[in-house]
Structure 1
Amino acid sequence: MAYPDPYPRPAPDPFIRRWLFITACIAALMLLWQFLPAIEAWFSPREAAERTVTARGDLAAEEKATIELFEESRASVVYITTAQLVRDVWTRNVFSMPRGTGSGFVWDDAGHVVTNFHVIQGASEATVKLADGRDYQAALVGTSPAHDIAVLKIGVGFKRPPAVPVGTSADLKVGQKVFAIGNPFGLDWTLTTGIVSALDRSLPGEAGGPAIDHLIQTDAAINPGNSGGPLLDSAGRLIGINTAIYSPSGASAGIGFAVPVDTVMRVVPQLIKTGKYIRPALGIEVDEQLNQRLLALTGSKGVFVLRVTPGSAAHKAGLAGVEVTPQGIVPGDRIIDVDGKATDDVAKLLARLDDRKVGDVVVLSVERAGKSREVRVELQPGN
């Protein structure tokens, strides 16, 4: 006679069975994953098939031209590092502190190097590195802050680097290709390409100084460190000095500016000869704020002459400034244009004069008391 089991085993829970099944599947998958490389190696061929190199063919003509331009121009571009001498207030020792980097280019066989004024501004010393790796301490020759141009000189005794070929900027056309070589972010001898995006742009000067006019706008990538480097045309000729960018982020946003080579050709020889740029002047005093007030009162355009320097070119030509009479202030001559080009404000007048040189004769269209006339003035050295 069979007796019932006093301790019967409970029936397996369906949930526990499912959990055990899932756990077993996971364990199996983990083992499979662990041994998968060995399984693949077992079934794969014992030797990997060798890859063959696909023939590229000839470079495109445009690529060849760009490569040739860079190889021929690279040696004319330099890398500039600046430092500032600092005196320790406790030890009184003087030491050199790195300040910044920039670019430049060889101007002539005498070792003159052209760069931006803001690259060396505030520096106590500058080192110029050539493309072949040689370093030279540079001497400052001259600066023109109004044009953001500076000239340095290095003593290259042998294996002189070639001077960059000089072109023209007056005949530039929007859309033509340009090439920029420089040292952006310290990445030396970098080439970027683009086109002329616009011409005759103006940027405000530093610390309220005169505006920099006639700038070339380009979409070639220009970043910090490119300043002072050359902007070249497709023939490898210098057409400008890369000087500024418009960028909310501080990096290239496709809007860069370059000082045109026609301005460089006018300024650099003076800096080499005298150490400073002497701007051509009329011998008059003008003021933009007062000029705007007078224009608003009279409802006219142009630049009012506030004062004429006695004995100046303007004085000899018969120009007259503002007069103070018992009846009130009488406006002086108002310059409407220079050589047929309008002068809507003081900045534009200075730009028109800066296109010429000392000794040139300009024709001014002036108006006073409703009467217009033309005046010929020989430009004199400015302050």
Structure 2
Amino acid sequence: MDNENKKFIDVETNQIEEVNESVFENNLIHKNPKKKKRMFFNVVLALIIAIIGGLSGSGVTYLMIKNTNAINQSTKSYVSPTFTEDTSAETLSTTDAFNKVAPAVVIVSTKGLSSNGFVPQQVEGIGSGFIINEEGDILTNYHVIQGANEVKVTLSNGKEVNATVVNYDEAQDVAMIKVESGTVIPAVAELGDSDQIYPGAQVIAIGTPLSKEFAQTLTQGVISAVNRNVQGQNGTNINLIQTDAAINPGNSGGPLVNSKGQVIGINSMKIGTQLGGTSVEGMGFSIPINEVKTKIDSLSKPILNLGIQVREITSDLAKKYNLSEGIYVQGVEEFSSAEKAGIKVGDVITKFDNKKITTFNELKELKSGKNIGDTIKLGIVRDNKEIEITVTLADKTK
């Protein structure tokens, strides 16, 4: 790869936001180092919420949520809501509910590059997921596959197969991955109705805590609360189910299951320890499955790919390092649309079809209005000169 144009930026990890476009866009083979950013935020009520899983050496990243509305506890008088039990399906024993869902639960193993600054280091992660159709689509958490350049799935029968990232919703912390063509699907999970859950209802969580040796672990508990309003890692408020069923590192992306053997949530995070060392137990959170159902169609469609790894250059960093404000190209994927068009490491993308862009989200939003095979014009600053490059958009899963 041509690295002659690459500039060295020596900054602290919290000074510059890094986004791996190739991961976001289903490109699972990197040729350039990528740093896994650990997300840290202020704590609500001094609580550390651990996102269970993800790509890191320990398999755990941490999310500290802000003081307002993280877990939405109003200071006004609170009127307890009334819940009605759903009796539309047969109630199963814990064993039967587990046996119904467990064959569809998978281990999601990831590999990627993490770095301190620009120094690459190979790291591995582990999480869980569950199969939702015979085509081999699997729901998991976004943070499980974030930063991965290799994804493998271990089925309930023990067979390990390759998988690709199809799409994701970062704000909701949901991702869709797909097993390789020809894979025999052992089972498909039945999706339930998370609007029918209520505090006190029996639930089980299934997943792979800590390592593959503990695959298909079942933990049991109840719904502790519904509609918990938690502020996520990008500042977006997420509506979550609270449960006391044990959720541990590696459970991320696994199903939360009701007494009918239906998936009513995706296990996502837990409250860990208060600042000061006070231990907190029995507070896990899951994404309501109804909020995911509405996204399944869009998650099944691949995101358009450029094939670049980027960092956002703020105005302050632009001044400090004599760069243009925009999207700094840290890496270019071999054989990608970007490489074919002539984009180089060290380029700063400032325009998309003559529209000024400074963040990756702006780039992603503009791409969302395009189709595979469309051409776009990127305004780029290279060696302090403005140039324009035409790129043809592609789907890297094909």
Structure-1-length-normalised TM-score = 0.50
**Mapped contact 2:206–2:255 kept (Cα < 8 A):** yes
Q: Tell me the residue number matched to 1:104.
A: 129
Q: Tell me the residue number matched to 1:126.
A: 151
Structure 1 residues 224-261: Cα deviation after superposition (integer angstroms, max 9, x where no partner) = 11110000000110100000001117997100000001
Is it true that 1:197 corresponds to 2:224 in the alignment? yes
1:1-383 to 2 correspondence within 5 Å? 65-85=93-113, 97-155=122-180, 157=182, 159-186=184-211, 187-206=214-233, 208-212=234-238, 214-248=239-273, 253-275=281-303
Distance, in Å, in 2 between the alignment partners of 1:231 and 1:269 is: 21
Structure 1 residues 247-296: Cα deviation after superposition (integer angstroms, max 9, x where no partner) = 117997100000001111012221103549xxxxxxxxxxxxxxxxxxxx
3-state SS in 2 of match to 1:133 = coil
**Mapped contact 2:253–2:267 kept (Cα < 8 A):** yes
Identity fraction in percent: 39
How far the C-alpha of 1:156 sits from its partner, in A, is 5.2
Comparing both structures, which one devotes a greater share of its residues to helix? 1
**Mapped contact 1:73–1:236 kept (Cα < 8 A):** yes
**Mapped contact 2:164–2:180 kept (Cα < 8 A):** no
How far the C-alpha of 1:85 sits from its partner, in A, is 4.6
Say if 1:158 and 1:99 are closer, same or farther in 2 by CA, change over 3 A. closer
Structure 1 residues 312-368: Cα deviation after superposition (integer angstroms, max 9, x where no partner) = xxxxxxxxxxxxxxxxxxxxxxxxxxxxxxxxxxxxxxxxxxxxxxxxxxxxxxxxx
3-state SS in 2 of match to 1:131 = coil
How far the C-alpha of 1:171 sits from its partner, in A, is 1.6
Amino acid at match of 2:190: P
Distance, in Å, in 2 between the alignment partners of 1:161 and 1:250 is: 43
How far the C-alpha of 1:136 sits from its partner, in A, is 1.0
5+ long unaligned stretches in structure 2: 1-90, 305-398
Distance, in Å, in 2 between the alignment partners of 1:199 and 1:79 is: 27
How far the C-alpha of 1:97 sits from its partner, in A, is 2.9
Amino acid at match of 2:293: M
**Mapped contact 1:117–1:143 kept (Cα < 8 A):** yes
Amino acid at match of 2:162: Q
How far the C-alpha of 1:122 sits from its partner, in A, is 1.1
Q: Relative contact order (alpha carbons < 8 A, sep ≥ 6): 1 or 2 greater?
A: 2
Distance, in Å, in 1 between the alignment partners of 2:188 and 2:297 is: 14
**Mapped contact 1:221–1:252 kept (Cα < 8 A):** no
Say if 1:269 and 1:211 are closer, same or farther in 2 by CA, change over 3 A. same
**Mapped contact 2:270–2:283 kept (Cα < 8 A):** yes
Amino acid at match of 2:251: N
Structure 1 residues 117-166: Cα deviation after superposition (integer angstroms, max 9, x where no partner) = 01111111111000111111111100101100000000252531211001
How far the C-alpha of 1:185 sits from its partner, in A, is 0.9
**Mapped contact 2:92–2:259 kept (Cα < 8 A):** no
3-state SS in 2 of match to 1:105 = strand
Instruction: Calculate the aligned-residue CA RMSD, in Å.
Output: 2.7
Say if 1:191 and 1:250 are closer, same or farther in 2 by CA, change over 3 A. farther
Q: Which has the larger radius of gyration?
A: 1
Amino acid at match of 1:223: N
Distance, in Å, in 2 between the alignment partners of 1:143 and 1:194 is: 29
Amino acid at match of 1:255: M
Structure 1 residues 11-66: Cα deviation after superposition (integer angstroms, max 9, x where no partner) = xxxxxxxxxxxxxxxxxxxxxxxxxxxxxxxxxxxxxxxxxxxxxxxxxxxx9822
**Mapped contact 1:223–1:251 kept (Cα < 8 A):** no
Distance, in Å, in 2 between the alignment partners of 1:196 and 1:120 is: 27
5+ long unaligned stretches in structure 1: 1-62, 277-383
Say if 1:72 and 1:171 are closer, same or farther in 2 by CA, change over 3 A. closer
Amino acid at match of 2:270: I
Structure-2-length-normalised TM-score = 0.49
Distance, in Å, in 1 between the alignment partners of 2:175 and 2:183 is: 24
**Mapped contact 1:217–1:258 kept (Cα < 8 A):** yes
Alignment length, in residue pairs? 207
**Mapped contact 1:84–1:125 kept (Cα < 8 A):** yes
3-state SS in 1 of match to 2:218 = strand
Q: Tell me the residue number matched to 2:81.
A: none
